Structure 1
Amino acid sequence: MHYLSTLFAGLLFGTGLIMSGMANPRKVQNFLDIFGTWDPSLAFVMGGAILVTAPGFWFVQKRPAPFFYDMFHLPTRKDVDARLVTGAALFGIGWGLGGLCPGPALTSLPFATPGVLIFVPTMLVGMTLAKFAALPSLKALNT
C-alpha cells in the first residue's frame, strides 16, 4: 500500500503542476518578472495549494505515524547555516533563470521539450556533484 500511495501522491502532484502551469518555464519566469510581463496567476496557485495542504498536514502531524509507513521522516536540524543559505540561493537563482525546478522538470519530461531535455541531465549532474562535495562533511560528522 505504501508504493500505491506514493504513486498516487506523485501522479496527483504532477497533474497539479501541469494543470497550474508551474511546469511551463515561461509562466514561472513571467511570475517573477514584476516590472515586465508579470503574471500573478501562480500566486493564486500557491495560495490555493497552501489552503488545501495546511489542514491535511496539521491532521497528519497529530498521528503517531503516517498512514502507510512506520514513522515520519522529517528534518531534525533547525539551524540555518551557510551551506543551507547558499543552496537555497542557487536553487532560487536557477529556478528564476531557467523557469524550472526538479518537480516540474521531471513532470515535463514526457513532453520532450528541448529546454527540459537539457535541464534534467544537467540537474542530475549537479545533484551528483553536490552529493560528492558533501561526502567529506558527512564523513567528518560520523567520526
Structure 2
Amino acid sequence: MKIILTSEVSGLGTAGDVVDVKDGYARNYLLPRGAAIRWTKGGEKDVEQIRRGRKIREIASIEQANDVKAQLEGVTVRLKVRAGAGGRLFGSVTPADIVSAVKTAGGPDVDKRRIELSTPIKSLGSHRISVRLHPEVVAHVGLQVDAAK
C-alpha cells in the first residue's frame, strides 16, 4: 500500500515521504496512530504542505545538530512526578514532560517528536533518553525522575 507519512517513523522515513508498506502495517499501525495517510492523487498536494512544515521544525545541518547535542548532553534534567509507595508512577513520563523539563533545566528547545522512548518510563530513578536531532545525530540525555512531595 502506498502511504504518505505525516510524522517521522523510525526505519521508514520522515514526514512528507511517500512510501510503500505492507497493507497490514499501514491499516493496523500507521493509519490508526495518525502517522500516515493513504496516498491519493489529491494527497500529493498535502505532501508539499507537510514538507514545508517539516523544514520549519527541522535542524538544518549536522553542525547545528552537533551544537544542540552538546547543549543537551551538558544539561542535568530532573523531573518531579507523582509516585506510589513502591516507586511506581501514576501514569508515565511523556515526551512533552521531558521537553518541558529540558527547557526548565536551561536546555535548548526540542521538538517532542524527536524524543525516542524505547519503553515507557513508569518508575522513579535514572533513565537514558535518546533525542534524534538529525538523521545522523542522536543525543543521549540523562533523566532523573523523582517523587513529588
Q: TM-score range by the shorter chain?
A: under 0.3
Please state which structure has a larger fraction of its residues in strand. Answer: 2
Q: TM-score, normalised by structure 2?
A: 0.27
- Larger RCO: 1 or 2 (CA < 8 Å, sep 6+): 1
Q: TM-score, normalised by structure 1?
A: 0.28
